[in-house]
Amino acid sequence: MIPMSKLLIAGLIYAVLPAWAQSDAEALVASKRSADMSYQELMQILGRSLTGLQDGVLLQNGELVRQAANAILHHPAPSHKPWAIVLEAERDGFKQALLTYDKVLDLETKAILAAAETKDWLNAAESLGRLQQACISCHLQWRTKARF
């Protein structure tokens, strides 16, 4: 039997977590400069930046890595709320995905940058692989849910 206290804690987590993601996703988006573009156009910038990172690591071009990493680390927010692209019922989930993946994108991009600065290209490539996995995981989960 599951003790009552555990049930209570689980209940609390489920009640509080969506509200937490709600305000934190708002804060995350508010912390970025708002640019005159859609979420899809922001993704096109990320796509180009990923290509820049791939080329930079492949060709051991540190400046190319720096420029592409910069575009990812300091990307602006779209002119609309990102979660406006999914159905109302999916918005809390998408907010949590934004929070989670934003951290991973930052972490791996910084790792690529640091490795490139010391010309540790194999480590840069490993972080690049993890960065790509994060892009792809989110796409598997969310890309077909984008409606606008």
- Catalog residues that contact ligand HEC under the rule CB under 6 A: 39-40, 43-44, 46-47, 50, 85, 97-98, 101, 105, 131, 134-135, 138-139, 142-143, 146
Residue pair 94/113 in contact by the 8 Å Cβ criterion: no
Q: How far is the CB of 49 from ligand HEC (least distance, A)?
A: 7
Q: How far is the CB of 146 from ligand HEC (least distance, A)?
A: 4
Half-sphere exposure in the Cβ direction for 128 (13 Å, CA): 22
d(CA 29, CA 40): 15
Q: How far is the CB of 140 from ligand HEC (least distance, A)?
A: 10
Nearer to ligand HEC, 44 or 60 (CB): 44
Residue 43's H or E segment, with its range, is helix 39-58
